[in-house]
Amino acid sequence: MSDVLRVAIADPDDSSRESLKAMLLGLDRIWLEAECSRYEFFADVVEQTKPDIGLVTIDHDSDKAIALVKKVSETTPNVSVAVVSSSSDGNLILRAMRAGAKEFLTSPLPIEDFVAALERISAQRFGRDSGRSRSSKLYAVAGATGGVGSTSLAVNLGCAMAQDTNQSVVLVDLDLSLGDADVFLDAIPDYTLSDVAENADRLDFTLLKRSLTKHSSGLFLLPRPVHIQDSDQITTEDLQRVIGLLRATFTHVILDLSKGYTKTDLAAMQRADEVLLVIQLDLPCLRNVVRLMAFFAELDGVKEKVRVIVNRQGIDSGQITLKKAQETIGKEIFWQLPNDYRTMVECRNNGVPLVDEAPKAKITSSIFSLAAALSGSDLIGEAVEGGSSISRLMSLFPSRQR
């Protein structure tokens, strides 16, 4: 799990408290543990929830607030207290710091100042060289048309990444009507995306993990809703909240998008670090890629994040050449996956991922190479797309105990 900071807020003013909450919920490394509108109750809240940071606004009653800072600092010394005030009075700052505040932040609070304060507190708590992951990576997997294998890639990429015991990986099926990621893993989930979205405000780390289905490969799955009519109930705000919770919990989050490029799909792409666009080298697919790239250019920051993945390379002699494809779409091909349709169909029908069904297949080797490339492995320079031995690639991802 990444170094998430759990925060509790004390602020009697509804307006400023809501403003703080909105900022916190927009940060992937923050988990809003609790909020309190009364100074008198906050020490008990901190004692019960044990957050990493207690964030106290002191403008409402500076004397009471500073007394609270002192009490929290003394009774729960493992909680780092930060104060927020619209005042820059030196005497007030001195009083707050003497009471035990680790940070004094001036409102209105610039986001970069708050992030810098979080980094200082995180360094104190976890150490600058702790070796733990500092962030979570979010990948959106999209298809240029139906049937190109985007779900196959999303599932098997997730299983490959999950072989590294230093990584925790979750796959979210965002094809809200007809998604079938659960079929690829032969999973019968107890909960779905609609359940998590509906209860996102009440989830904590433990309940979130219990809401997910864990595959034997180590991959966690959050499937699409059971009933098609439930898909309309998931809003982009729900999705953003769920993504925030997952990024606070997992090192890698993979989103398998629908082919409809709905509002939730677009919200997912805008939040993603990488957008993996799966294509085949045929004319209808390339025509769609051209249209999609023009559309992505209108979305803030999306086009630059697109990585084009050619699937089923070498399926027959009638394919369009790689050079011609790149000229047509105006973008370099990021990765090529060899054609192994028969193996992939067997995996899907058996509900078993490649890592278990066909660990020595070229397609499996290529997906492990892709996983290593996306993870930024130091050894990726030695790996050739689709050509490295599975033993070398597996050395990048130590075997998980099953």
pLDDT tens-place string over residues 250-281: 889 999 999 999 999 999 999 999 999 999 99
Q: What percentage of the chain has pLDDT greater than the value 90?
A: 63
CA distance readout (Å), 291 to 126, 150, 165, 277, 309: 46, 18, 40, 13, 16
Q: Which CATH number describes the domain made up of 137-396?
A: 3.40.50.300
Give Cα 157 to chain centroid, integer Å. Answer: 15
Lowest-pLDDT range, 16-30, 41-55, 164-178, 297-311? 16-30
Model confidence at 134: pLDDT above 60: no
Residue 186 has phi, psi (to 5 degrees) of 50, 45
**Is the separation of the CB atoms in 64 and 92 below 8 Å?**
no
Burial of residue 89, with CB atoms counted within 10 A of its CB: 0-12 exposed, 13-18 middle, 19 or more buried: exposed
User: pLDDT confidence of 391, banded at 50, 70, 90?
Assistant: very low
pTM of the model: 0.69
CATH of the structural domain 5-126, one choice from 3.60.15.10, 2.40.30.30, 3.40.640.10, 3.40.50.2300: 3.40.50.2300
Q: Tell me: the pLDDT tens digits for 342-387? A: 999 999 999 999 999 999 999 999 999 999 999 764 333 333 333 3
pLDDT number for residue 205: 60
- Report whether pLDDT(401) > 60: no
* Domain 5-126 identical in fold to domain 137-396: yes
- Give the model's confidence band at 126: pLDDT under 50 very low, under 70 low, under 90 confident, else very high: low
Q: pLDDT digits over 210-253, tens only?
A: 889 999 999 999 999 999 988 888 888 888 878 877 887 788 99
Q: What is the pLDDT of residues 306-353, one digit of tens each?
A: 999 999 998 766 689 999 999 999 999 999 999 998 999 999 999 999
Q: Are 208 and 199 a contacting pair, CB within 8 Å?
A: no
Mean pLDDT of 61-68: 95
CA distances from 281 to 11, 314, 328, 335, 339 (A): 57, 9, 11, 13, 12
Taking the domains of the chain in order of start, what are their residue ranges?
5-126, 137-396
